[in-house]
Amino acid sequence: MINKLKYQMVIQWSDEDDCFLVGLPDFPGQQWRTHGDTYEDAVAQGIEAIESLVIAYEAAGEALPKPNSVCAVA
């Protein structure tokens, strides 16, 4: 399911929390949704959070937010 979704994840180290924080800017709400002790763990937790959000939106009959597209400049 997640492979078809194009949602952004922002992963940032936090000295205060001593972990990587994961934000999902395409979903309204709190700035940081999950975290991980390693970058790889943060990615896995972010994917799980997106999957959970999609399930919650669908269960509530709400339309999913439109993924923002980012154009990389070379």
Contact 53, 27 (CB under 8 A): yes
69 falls within a domain? no
72 falls within a domain? no
Domain that holds residue 51: 2-59
pTM: 0.82
71 falls within a domain? no
Domain count, the chain: 1
51 falls within a domain? yes
4-29 pLDDT per residue, tens: 678 999 999 999 999 999 999 999 88
Given a cut of 60, is residue 68 above it in pLDDT? yes
Which 3 state secondary structure label does DSSP give 50?
A: helix
